Amino acid sequence: MGDTTKEVPVFNKRNLVMMFCQMAFGLSFYGVMIVLTPFFLEELQYSEADTLMVIGAFGAVGTLFSIAGGVIGDRLLGEYRSLVVGYI
């Protein structure tokens, strides 16, 4: 007797692409943080407080733009066009 059950994949292709893009975003975001901190401290001679303020503002603005982009993508462009435009 043959097995008639069909395995359902845990992740489809869209989910894998989204996970890869999120991983790449996290890697680039924290990579920029790692590079900017010594640059502001050593090259530009910013104080530690000023450096932390700039780095914090960078993180906050990045998060706010992500939220705004998500709203624009969901409401105006749609799922498919958002991915195509966002990752070109």
Tens-place pLDDT, residues 13-43: 888 888 998 899 889 889 999 999 999 999 9
List of residues 6+ apart from 62 with CB closer than 8 A: 29
Q: What is the DSSP letter of 7?
A: P
List of residues 6+ apart from 51 with CB closer than 8 A: 37, 40, 41
Enumerate the domain spans of the chain.
Answer: 13-86
Residues 83 and 17: beta-carbon distance below 8 Å:
yes
Q: How far apart are CA 83 and CA 18, in angstroms?
A: 9
pLDDT digits (tens, 9 = 90+) for 41-75: 999 999 999 999 999 998 899 889 888 988 888 88
